[in-house]
Amino acid sequence: MKTWRERVAEARERGYFSHEDRMAWMDLTTCPAGEIVRAMPCLNEATKKLGGLYNHELHVMGHAFGRCIAGPTEFLFDEADKILDAIEDRALQLKRDKGV
């Protein structure tokens, strides 16, 4: 499975985000927040109802990422990198706050 860093780099080279990238963004388990929660399970807030991987705060940040890869703004590669940085930074802070 490609990381979002890899996806952004490939999209930048190609000139656009692929349909596969957009589909991965829409799935809670493969979106940028899901990728981080998979790497840091202590941040998972998923319930049986939600299933999968979920952290509300990171999920909300991931919505901003969606603007970079879909619709008329699907060419915002630098902004996508900045949002990934912000998601990763916040995830690390949440992990530290949990004492893990």
- pLDDT, residue 23, reads 95
SS (H, E, C) 10-27: HHHHHCCCCHHHHHHHHC
Q: Which residues contact 81 (CB under 8 A, 6 or more apart)?
A: 8
Backbone dihedral region for residue 46 (phi beyond 0: left; psi -120 to 50: alpha; all else: beta): beta
Averaged pLDDT for residues 5-22: 95
Averaged pLDDT for residues 4-13: 96
- pLDDT, residue 6, reads 97
CA 60 – CA 28 distance, rounded (Å): 11
- pLDDT, residue 55, reads 86
> Which pTM was predicted?
0.87
Spell 72-93 as b/e; 16+ CB within 10 A means b.
eebebbebbbebbeebbebbee
Q: pLDDT by residue (tens digit) across 38-91?
A: 899 898 887 555 566 778 899 899 889 988 998 776 789 999 999 999 999 999
18-22, 33-37, 70-74, range with the lowest pLDDT: 70-74
Q: Which residues contact 69 (CB under 8 A, 6 or more apart)?
A: 11, 17, 21, 22, 25, 76, 80
- pLDDT, residue 29, reads 84
pLDDT tops 70 at residue 18: yes
